Each structure stands twice: as structure tokens, then as C-alpha cells.
Chain A
Amino acid sequence: MSVNGETSSITGFDASDHQPAFIFTPSAIEGAPERPAKRRRVGRTSAPDPTKHAQAFRFERLLNGLEDTECVGLREELFKRHWAKTEERIQSILGESNEDTLTKVTSFVQDVAPTEGSGIVPTGFIVTGPNIASQGLLFEQLSERLKTEVNGPVVTLRSGDAANLKAALKQLIRDATNQRAVNEDEGEGFFERDGRKLLNYDLEILHGFVKLHGSKRAIVAFQDSEAFDPGLLGDLIALFSSWMNRIPFVLLFGIATSIDLFRERLPRAATKCLFGAQFDVEQTSSVFESVFLKVIAGSEAPLRLGPALVSSLIERQHNHVQSIQAFISALKYAYMCHFYANPLSVLSDNERDSKSLLKLLQSEHLEAIRMLPSFIKLVENSVEKHEVTLARGLLEDDKVLLREVEKALDSATQRVITILRTMHVLSSAATGPVEKIDLYVRAFKGSLSDSDTVRAVLDSIKRMAPDALIAFIGRITKAVENGSPELDLEGWLGEETEFLKEITDIQGEVTSLVEEAVETGKPVRSQYAIHSQGLRTTVIAQKVQLSYEKSTLSKQDIKYTALIDRMSNLLKEYFTFEHPQDLFLNEVWLYDSLSPYKEVFTPGSRLAIEQSLSAPYHYLPGCKDTGDAFSSSKPATAILYQMYLESGSLINVSDIWTAFFSIVGGEESEGYDERTALMLFYRGLADLKLLGMVKPSRKKVDHLAKSVWKGL
């Protein structure tokens, strides 16, 4: 095997290198590859252990390999536990989101009555929206559901399976008949009729099958309808329609665009044969938001994503992938990175109390903690507060540090919950609809108090009439009382004392003011409200008008204005909290590393290749960055690539070879002789061809055409 690198694979021409496909047997471990037949017998005796594959690898020991095995195991266990819980939550949301559609479609399939003899095929149009990646899940769930609830075969066709009518029918019949044949042995019966064998794309087979099982429906679902050739669909529909008197077909179309567009593509004759209903699937964006709120923002999320990562995820979600699956993968990868690479992630175990967690910590852990940015912040803060002994203790004394760690761990959940509660109060206080994901990003950036939403809320208060203010306060208390199920927040009426007392206080006073006002018959307005009214009515000389208005403020008005000011300040204060990324040990529960995500999900393949060819010294320390683009120390292909970059759209092979040889060979003693240089030249040229950069040109003899420009 050519595993030993370049030299061996060149000298020893290995057959396996050019074999299309084979089963790997390492040469180094067992001398000769074992016969598979022998293994089989052995295989039966040893009891298969399903967990074995999962245990095949362990997490790496971090902290320069000094990490305790217990901690390593704990990290692994934590990852599994946390992710399993999160995944379960996601799946339940996804299941629920499709639940509605599933029920509707199932009842449609059950209830629809085909009109006898008309040849009209009942059809369900499922409008899934542009997210083709999640269609798969929906149709899987759908066929599961239909199989259990409807008596009859269910077949899902994808555009890839059905290149032409024959292939589509074959696939349809095979899928339909396989579903039952497993447990009933009369499966073969419907392949023959009158002693002759039927072709495997003859719908007669399906007819026989349907008759045999007494099926009520034969459901054919087209997962990605738009991708099918419209002509093919037309033929299929016509065919189904002509068989309607024998086979009770029901069709389902997954539609990504709209029914109108879909109908336009179909032949008129085919559309005439269809009748049915439209089903809308919950749009990805709303599913996405509920998943996000539950598993990233939700109070029970074991790991939170930081604002930078979230914004980049959201951006990709909106602009590129539009798929909830991709988002889940990214989330999972974040979990994986966190627990795989962060030794401090052991501290996020919520099943142990902080005391027992602290016992796990080794001195290396403490060193690692001292490297954290949040630790630095903590020390800086304590120095600013002139608590020099504390700062010194943190730096030097492990006991002080441990005490601080314990404190931070104990308070962490509470602090996060406070942030979430604030978010919830804000979103229920806001008058218009709120981008909750955006709110989350802002909250975790620590810039919630400057956000537009907060400003809008504060502005709206100032202009509120007393009744509106009372309702507003009522909304807030209600939010506090009920909590938020989408964030897994329970009501916290009992805990919130200060803030709630203040606002109910204000509410009470406003109510009494209103009562007074009703008695006197004079409406209560705040200074700000009058102000704005004054502005609106005045055409000339605003100043005069304003002072005039002010002087006519009644006592109630002044009182009310004061109340509003109080409310406004109160809310302002309430919406201001410490930057979560300044909290000590936030690294344990907040993951905000952007680069692994970017590298792993959005490969810059072309960039990587261009970079490696134009600056090989980044990878190979042996060839120094001399600043000379044509340094002979570069690999041959890199030199050739440089020349390629500088040449025009047509390349003369002869000239480029001369140039190449003058660099690689040349007068210097280390240069190669002409034949070796030619070999390298060949290699480089073939490499460029492999990368799709050159192709033969017929404009001139021995010329190549250039097809790729760097950086474009």
C-alpha cells in the first residue's frame, strides 16, 4: 500500500492505486490480507457489541496531555448528554412544526372521494417553500404517517430516480410492491397474468397488488416536483388518470415555488386530470426562530452561542443555505468543538454542584483559567475598585481563585436567566413585532440598552396616555407572571421584588390620577404629550407656543409627567446589565469561536489552492519567502503557476518551458539537468491541467489557453 508516502508509491507501482474500489486491509498490521470467507465464521461467534464503534476513539487529553482521564471522560459524557437533550428538543420542534401539515394531508388522503369514471386524480399540493433541503424530512414523515394510517402503498419519487417514464414506473412499482412483500409470501402473484410474465413497468402489476391487498389508496408523492421534467410529469399524470378506474391513485406534489407556477409548467391535458387541495408547510424562518429560541436562547440550553457566531450563522442561514438542517449541523459542531477542545467545559456539568466540580480541577486547569480574557477582566476590575489584595490573591493564590470560580459558577445560571427575563420583558413591552434573534445577539453583545427596540419602548412611554400606560404596565406584569414558554422561562412573580413593586406602584398612582381626572373632567396628559401636540398644531413661533403650553400644565399633568419619567428611568435601568462576555468564566457556558465554523462549513477551496501555489512558504518552511516570485526553491508547480499568472490568455508552451528551465536548471550548481527539469515541467503542467487551469488551444501550435484568473 502506498501509505508510506511519495517514494514508495512511485517506486513500487501498487495495483491498489488503480483499482476502482476495494476493502481496506492494512499491510502493516497483518502480513497477508485475510480471506473474507474465513472471517465470516469468526464473526458469528464473537458477540457483536453495538457500542463498540462509538467507543473506538476517545477524546484527546488536553492541557498538554496532562489532563486527568476522569476529566476527559467527563467532557465526552457531557457532550453526549447535552447534545442528546438539545437534539431531542430540536426534533420535537421539527416534528410539531410538520404535525399540522401531516394531519391535514392524511385526512385529505383518507377522505377524498375519487369521482367514478371521470379519470380525475385527487391531488394534494404541498407548498414547502424554497427550502429543498428540508423537503426530505417532511416527505419521510409523511410516508411514515400515511403507511400507518392509510391502507395502501405509499411511494415517494424523487427527480433523480425518474429520468424517463419507464424508470419512474419501474421505481414506482418496485417500491409499492416491496412494502408488503416482506411479510407475505404471495408477493409474486401479481407479476404474472394469464400465464405470461408482465414487464416490470406495467401498471398491471400494481393493479394486481392493489386488488390482492384490497388497498383503498395508492399514494404517489413527488418530492421535488419542479425538478421533474414537465413532459414526464404530464405523461405520468395522464397514465394515472387512465388507470383511475382500477387503481385508486392519490398524488402528492411537493412544491417549492407556487401552485400557479407549477401549473404553468404542466401540459394543459395533465392539469385537467388533477383536482385537489393545497397545504402550506410552516415556513422555515418561523421554525428556525422557535428552534433558535429553544436551544440557544432557552433557559435550559447547556451551551450558549456568542453573538459573533450567531450573527454569522444567521447571515449564512438567510443568504445562503436556508436550511434548518444546516443550522442544526452548525450548532452540533459548536457543541463538539466546545467539549472536545475546551478543558474548562467540565465546569458546565449541571448535575453536579460546584463543590464537586472544583475537586476535579487540576493545577493546569487553574493555569488555564488564569489565561482567560474574562479572568483578566476580573482582575482589572478588582484593581480599579482598589481591591488590590483580591487581585493579587487571584493571581497568586489558588484558594482565592477557587473561591471566585465557585462564586462565578453558582451565579452564572442566575445571571443568564436575568438576561433572558429582560429580553422577554422587552419583547412583551414593545408595541410592534420584535426580531427575537436580533434581540438575543444584542443582549449578549451587551448593547441591549442602546438598541432600537429599547429606544422605541422608552419613546413610546413618553407619549402614552394614562390608560395606555396602565395597559403597558399590565403587559409587563403579565410577562413576569407567565414567563415565556418558548424560552423555557417560568413566571418569576415571586422573585422579582424591586422592579415589580416600583411599577405596580406607578400603576396605582396613575390609576388614581385617572380617577381624579374623570371626576374633574380634565384629561391627564404628560408634558411630552402636550409638547408633541403643541408642535403639531403650531405653524409659527414654536418657542412661544411651548412655554405657553408648559405654563398651563395642571397639577395632575405635572404629577403624571413625573411618573412617566420615573417609569422611563426604571426601565432604562432594568434594560441595562453587565456585558455577558465580561462575566468571569463565561467561556464555560458561552461558545463564541467563529473560525472553526467558517473553516468547516464554508470551504475556500479555490482560495486555499491559489494561496498554497502562490505562497508555498506558508506551508513549507524550506522554501523561504525571498520576495522573488520565481524563486527556484519553490516547488515546480508553484513556479509554473506564477508564470501562468503573468502570461496572457494564450500561453506558448515552448516559451514557458524555456523560462521554467532557466529558473529550475540554469547556471547554478544546484540546478537540475534538462531532462529532470522537463520531468518537473511535465508534472507542473499536468497539475495545472488537473486544476482546470489550462486546456489545449487550437489557435496556434503548442499553445495553451488559460481559463482561470487568480482572485476572480
Chain B
Amino acid sequence: MGSGRASHSTNKGQTNGTTPVKRFQGKNLFSTPVKPNSAGDTNETPRLERHADRSARRKSTRTLIERTILGNTSDNDEEDEDIAHHIYDSEDEDEPGQEIEMNGETSASVPATPSKRGRPKGSKNRQKSPTPTRDLPPHEVYFSQNRGGRSKTSDNNLSSLALLDHEEYFALVRSYENPHSVDLDSLQKLYATFFNQWLFELSQDFNICVYGWGSKRSLLMNFAEHIYKAQTDHINNKIVVINGYVQHLTIRDILNTVAAAVSESGAKLGSQPAEMLEKLISTLEEDKTKNVTVMIHSIDGTALRRPTTQIILSRLSSHPQIHLVASADHPSFPLLWDSSLRSTFNFLFHDCTTFQPYTSEMDVVEEVHELLGRSGRRVGGKEGVSFVLKSLPENAKNLFRVLVGEQLAAMDESIGTGFGGADDDDDYDDNDRHTGNFGKNEPGVEYKVLYQKACEEFICSSEMSFRTLLKEFHDHQMIQSRKDVLGTEILSVPFRKEELETILEDITS
């Protein structure tokens, strides 16, 4: 607990410097309530903070002076400068009876700030508001967390932490014992009591959609078992299970499997989903005794999110001989369907919060590494890359060197321009959570450019041989290729800058 708080209060500590702006009114810094539940130990910490402030203030004065003398106001440093100003200002406000307007003037009248005149001083300071207390209404929380200015997070990073790989992760998972397993089981049992009701609902031409936190896979599989036991005739009643979370699932797979369940002879459905659906439905109608229960895990999975897929699914599910049981994981899954789709689906929704871990639904390690921008770890990190490179011919090594070099150059460029405002379009596009938005502003090298470079350096003579070399990298997942907005193919190496640098060193040495 202790160090957890500590890291929180380091965050707070920074903002604390700014707190007095709003609550100066003759009060001193010590009365600032930080957080209700850490009130117990506030008696001591503020004094420490104050000492810290003192030395920090001295330092910041120096920075300010230095800054103005050197005239160095690069964007990168602005943040520190800001902090410096704050720490400096907080001194003034400590003195009782001082007006807030005075505050702006005092700092402006400090002799060594001539270059600052262009910008009104107060504006920047006013934006910072005190750390929010608990129990704010949701919208207040939103605004307090999104207020202007740069957000204050520490510069710590994970470089010191050895990240998990798949092997270690699964070993840990296996040895881990969930302290809540009893409760989880009883939750499952609780939901199992609804199975009969669900059967009734299915038999009345409703479809079922379960939602809520936790993997509902095992619950639905239990339900499938329950359905199977309840059915006496297993020839005409089939259950089809579809794993919507599987990345390469297509609507054709679904329709083909359902068709296989219906006719078994493997009737040819065609290639267009709409056409397949019609053939499937006509086969179903030939034999009214056939019933297929379709069980879709994660109907909101990435593979099934396209509207056309959902239309086909809804039309499939609306057939009286098809019974659909689906699970949905995303909090805003109902947005997948408009009113027309919703009414064709004819869903009954049930809240099934299971708290079960999503074990088969997602590749935890992969997902986290993608979040952290370390998807290159799938080859086994940079060590893996150099290992692969060792076994490749000289040409391939050279090509990779060129690629990495180009990418590094591109990265430098993008950092130069990227920090201003371009990055703020971190779009709120939940839908392509996959690789899409991550790749969007990731620097890379254009396919053509790379080919040209490779030719110039006599790495390859024809596009054919160039492709062969690239394929080797693709196979080892050492490079990624994507299309940008204009449709040009961009190649990139999925590593972070520092790692790329070491790789480059490795190759060239």
C-alpha cells in the first residue's frame, strides 16, 4: 500500500505546487486537502513538500534566468519551464494578504523576464486547477481530467522492468490460484439456474444476448451442453458454436458451418454471403424439422463488426429454425445495431457478469505489448531479430539495415513535428482497436522508396528478389506492412526507437 500512495502523491505533488493559485485567500499551503483518505498522514508530508519546494524554487529561478538569457524556448522544454514558473510563483502566494492580480505582476516584474512579455503571464497559470477531490459528478471528473495544458505524468518508463513473454505468462497463469474461484463458481451456478428460462425464450423465437463483465464463454458452453441434454433428437437439432473473437473468422465460415449442420452433405452455397444466406434458408425450409442453435461468442468481436456481417447474421437469426445465443463484451455493443437490425435480431438481453478471465478470447501478452508499442516482441525481442538476421544472407541483412535506418530517420522527423498538436488527434476510434490506430502515425518507409534504396545499394536487382527478401522478414514478423490514407504501402519495423538503435548497431558492428 505504502509505495502505491507514494507514487500517487508524487503525481499530486506536482500539481500541489499549483494548488495555491485557487485557494490563496490568506490561507497557507498546509491546509490544502489532498485527498480525504490520505488525510491521516498529511501532518508530516506537507512540510517535506515545502522543503522540496524551497530547493526546487531555487533551482527553477536558475532555470528561468538561464532560459531568458539563452533565449532558448524550444517546445520540448516548455513543460519544465512551466513547472519552474509554478514553483516560483507559489512562493509569492504563500505570503498572506497578497492579491492574485499582484501575483501576475510580481512575476512579470522580475527583472530577468523580458522575453516573456509577448505572452500574458496569467493565462497559463489560471488553467491549472486543484487536484479534484473524490465524489465529483462524472462530467466534472471528465473536465478536470481533460483540462487544457499538458497533462502531468512522470517520465518513468518500463525499461527497467523485464516484460513477460508468452511462456512465462502462461506458466504464471497456471500456478496462479484465483482467490475468488469459489465465488466465481457460485456465480456460474446462479446463471445456470436460468438455463431453462433461456430455453423457453429460445423456443419462443427470441434470440438471446448475454453481456456483462467477464468471459461468458464457459457459461455459454455449459448452456450448449444443457441444450444438448434437453434435445432428444440430435440429428435434426444441431448446435453450432462460433468464436467471434477469432481474428480470421469470416461470415462465410459461419454460413458454411451452419449449412453443414443442416444438410451434412456439404451443399455448395456459393461465394457471396447474401447468396449463401438465401441458399441456406431455402435448404432449411425444405425440412422444417431441422433446428440449429447458433452460439456466437463475442458477437461484437472485431471479425464480426462490419455492418454487412451483422445484417447477414440478423437475417440468419430471424429465421424461425435458427436460434441464436450470443455474448457481447464491449460496453457499447448495442451501437452495432440500428433499430431495424435490432428488431430483426429480436434479442432478449441478460446481464451475466461472470468475472471470468478472458483466456481464450484474447492473447493477453500480445495485447499488452501492442498497447505498450512493443509488438516486435513476438519475434523474441531484438535478440530474436539479430538471431534471425544471423541466419540470413548478407543481402537480407543489408536490406534490414537500410529499412531500420530509414525508419529511424522518419522517426526523428515525426518527433520534430509531431509534438506540437498533430498528436492530439489520438482519435476516439474504438472500433479499430486492432492495429489500425496504432499504426496510423507510426513512422515507416514507403515500399517504393525502400526498393529504390535497395537498388541503389546493390542489395537486389529486381523487384522479384526484393519481394523474396521482404517475405523472409514477414515470415518472422520482423516487419509490418500497411496502407496509408493514399493507399501507398508503408513498411515498418515494430520496435521502439531505442530498440531500433541497438538493432542498427548490432547489424553494422
**Interface residue ranges, A against B (CB under 8 Å):** 1-6, 9-11, 14, 16-24, 26, 28-29, 36-37, 39-40, 42-43, 46, 48-50, 52-54, 56-60, 132-133, 135-136, 160-161, 163, 167, 170-171, 174, 224, 320-323, 325-326, 329, 332-333, 336, 340, 599-606, 608-610, 612-613, 616, 619-623, 628, 630, 632-633, 635, 645-655, 657-663, 666-667, 675-676, 678-680, 682-683, 685-687, 689-692, 694-712
Contact = CB atoms under 8 A, between A and B. Distances in A.
Interface stretch (B21-29, B359-367, B378-386): B359-367
A678 B172 CA distance: 9
A200 to B, nearest CB: 10
B117 interface: no
Nearest to A706: B145
A685 B371 contact: yes
Contacts of A161: 274
A652 B156 contact: yes
B264 interface: yes
Given A20-B246, A48-B235, A712-B138, 4 more contacts: A10-B170, A23-B240, A52-B231, A660-B4
B428 A20 contact: no
A622 B183 contact: yes
- Most B CB within 10 A of own CB, among A50, A609, A621: A609
B412 to A, nearest CB: 14
Contacts of B182: 622
Given A20-B243, A695-B437, A53 B237 contact: yes
Contacts of A690: 329-330, 358, 361-362, 367
B257 A22 contact: yes
Contacts of B330: 605, 690-692
B213 A609 contact: yes
B48 interface: no
A600 B349 contact: yes
A689 B433 contact: yes
A397 B37 CA distance: 59
A620 B228 contact: no
A23 B339 contact: no
A224 B203 CA distance: 30
19 contacts: A2-B221, A5-B185, A20-B253, A23-B257, A24-B240, A43-B235, A46-B235, A52-B233, A325-B346, A599-B349, A605-B328, A605-B330, A686-B362, A687-B357, A695-B371, A696-B438, A699-B426, A701-B496, A709-B145
Contacts of B357: 6, 683, 687
A698 B235 contact: no
A530 B437 CA distance: 79
Contact of B158 (A26, A136, A654, A666): A654
Nearest to B223: A3
A167 B272 CA distance: 10
A501 to B, nearest CB: 49
- Most A CB within 10 A of own CB, among B137, B164, B188, B418: B164
A650 B149 CA distance: 12
A329 B308 contact: no
Contacts of B265: 40
B242 interface: yes
B346 A649 contact: no
Interface stretch (B91-99, B287-295, B401-409): B287-295
B145 A648 contact: yes
B89 to A, nearest CB: 22
B413 interface: no
Contacts of B55: none
Contacts of A46: 233, 235
Contacts, number: 409
A675 B187 CA distance: 29
A12 B444 CA distance: 40
Contact size range, B: 35 or more
Interface in B389-434: 418-419, 423, 426, 428, 430, 433
Interface in B248-287: 248-250, 253-254, 256-257, 260-261, 264-265, 272, 274-275, 287
A678 B168 CA distance: 11
Contacts of A619: 183, 187, 353, 355
Given A6-B184, A22-B257, A682-B364, A29 B168 contact: no
A29 B212 contact: no
B4 A691 contact: no
A606 B343 contact: no
Given A20-B249, A21-B240, A675-B168, A651 B153 contact: yes
A702 B274 CA distance: 45
Contacts of B230: 56-57
B141 interface: yes
A682 B264 contact: no
Given A26-B225, A46-B235, A655-B7, A321 B339 contact: yes
A712 B428 CA distance: 15
B329 A703 contact: no
A9 B218 CA distance: 9
A124 B387 CA distance: 70
A433 to B, nearest CB: 28
Contact of A606 (B331, B361, B367): B331
B339 A18 contact: no
A315 B472 CA distance: 62
A6 to B, nearest CB: 6
B481 interface: no
B441 interface: yes
A709 B371 contact: no
- Most B CB within 10 A of own CB, among A628, A701, A710: A701
A160 B349 contact: no
B119 interface: no
A612 B355 CA distance: 8
A37 B237 CA distance: 16
Interface stretch (B121-129, B194-202, B447-455): B194-202
B241 interface: yes
A19 B362 contact: no
Contact of A11 (B174, B231, B333): B174
Contact of B433 (A10, A60, A692): A692
B331 A609 contact: yes
Those 6 A-B pairs whose CB atoms lie nearest each other, nearest first:
A711-B138, A662-B4, A603-B349, A24-B239, A17-B360, A606-B331
B343 A323 contact: yes
Given A652-B154, A695-B437, A56 B332 contact: no
A52 B321 CA distance: 13
A42 B243 contact: no
A336 B157 contact: no
B236 A698 contact: no
A692 B153 contact: no
Contacts of B211: 603, 605, 608
